[in-house]
Amino acid sequence: MRMYTIGELATVSGIPSTTLRYYDSEGILQPEIRNSANGYRYYSEKQLLQAEMIKELKGLGIKIQDIRLILQKENNEYMIHALELRMREMQKESMRLSNQLVAIDYALQRLQNTNKLQKEKTRESEQSKQSDPARNAERNTELKAYQVELYTMPEMWVLATRYISYIAVDNVFTDRVLELQNLREQYELFSKGPAVGIFHDGYSAQFTNEYGDLELCLPIVMGTDAAIEHSEIKHLDSCLCAATIHIGHYKFAYRAYLNLLEWIENSEYRITGPAMEIYEVDPRFSTNINEYLTRICFPIELKE
């Protein structure tokens, strides 16, 4: 019967000698003969075949402790079990990576779009200053800076919390955002867009009060229905909104609200729900306060 030294087995199998020694110490692939005088290891033809099996199973990602049991039991029942387990693990990981890819794509698109919008707003502001130097500068700047548009809020699944908390505009809700991020990690979810703040005590509360009823939502990628079991996950329906863009710190957004309310008052629409802020660019994506970009919205419908 042909026997192989550890070096020969390493050459034939492609498994390094150091790894073969590790397999020996762990009881995974032990030499059939061990020379007590010189410590030489000798492996049989059967163990060469086992080495081939080990390489194949390792390549499939089977854990080393499972490989040990497969070799010990010498039947394919446990191998089937190990392969089924590995397949489920890989399917779960594949779903996780797929959801992460979606989240990255949304984040990239969001930053590209907001960067383009910021440049357009800057260009409009500069053109406005040059076109009519004799105008009422303050009033005209407000109107130019806060142009109103009809915006359709898309339907979305969100991770949301709602309770009385600190809402004053000098605070950027960092603790509330971190709370949602921690829940997102706990539930193994991924973001799918900017955070949304819903002010159930009215928009002005954040400018006049320290505390108020704030609902903070983080859009998420819904890979499976299983995630719906968590109480913090809810579905937001699509709605038509009157919206304007505010660039900069939140504490300077009051004029944006006034301009938006004036537009709605003079339009054919009426407000149907609480004010919402969509934080297109927030502290999660910029360290520069002047780059914060917030879409301020009121849900609306046509007047009867």
Amino acid residing at 77: E
The pTM (predicted TM-score) of the whole model is 0.70
Q: Measured between alpha carbons, how far is residue 232 from residues 74, 133, 157, 229, 240 in Å?
A: 48, 52, 10, 9, 24
Banded model confidence at residue 193, pLDDT cuts 50, 70, 90:
confident
| 243/132: higher pLDDT | 243
Which pLDDT value is given to residue 223?
Answer: 63
When pLDDT is averaged across residues 127-149 and rounded to a whole number, the result is: 59
Could you give the dihedral angle defined by the CA atoms of residues 257, 169, 212 and 152, in that order, rounded to the nearest 10 degrees?
Answer: 40
Which pLDDT value is given to residue 283?
Answer: 80
Domains of the chain: 3-74 (1.10.1660.10), 97-302 (3.20.80.10)
Which pLDDT value is given to residue 155?
Answer: 95
Per-residue pLDDT at 25 exceeds 80 = yes
pLDDT tens, 152-177? Answer: 999 999 999 999 998 888 776 788 98
pLDDT tens, 213-238? Answer: 999 999 998 765 545 678 999 999 99
Per-residue pLDDT at 30 exceeds 70 = yes
pLDDT tens, 82-134? Answer: 999 999 999 888 888 888 888 888 888 877 877 777 777 667 666 655 665 55
Which pLDDT value is given to residue 211?
Answer: 92
| 225/38: higher pLDDT | 38
The contacts of residue 158 (CB under 8 Å, 6+ apart) are: 196, 217, 218, 219, 220, 233, 234, 235, 236
Per-residue pLDDT at 301 exceeds 90 = yes
CB 102 within 8 A of CB 221: yes
| 68/144: higher pLDDT | 68
CA quadruple 77, 83, 86, 91: dihedral positive or negative? negative
Banded model confidence at residue 141, pLDDT cuts 50, 70, 90:
very low
Which pLDDT value is given to residue 212?
Answer: 93
> For the stretch 219-250, what's the b/e string if a residue is b when 16 or more beta carbons lie within 10 angstroms of its beta carbon?
bbbbbeeebeeeebbeebeebbbbbbbbbbeb
Which pLDDT value is given to residue 287?
Answer: 81
Amino acid residing at 301: E
Which pLDDT value is given to residue 221?
Answer: 87
Which pLDDT value is given to residue 174?
Answer: 82
The contacts of residue 47 (CB under 8 Å, 6+ apart) are: 4, 9, 29, 31, 32
Which pLDDT value is given to residue 137?
Answer: 47
Interhelix angle 254-265/137-145, rounded to 10 degrees, is 80
Banded model confidence at residue 291, pLDDT cuts 50, 70, 90:
confident
Which pLDDT value is given to residue 173?
Answer: 77
Which pLDDT value is given to residue 163?
Answer: 95
Please state, rounded to an integer, the average pLDDT across all residues of the chain. 87
Place of tokens 């040059």: 130
What size, in residues, is the chain?
Answer: 304
Per-residue pLDDT at 37 exceeds 80 = no
Helix residue ranges, H only, the chain = 6-13, 17-25, 45-59, 64-73, 76-131, 137-145, 174-186, 205-208, 254-265
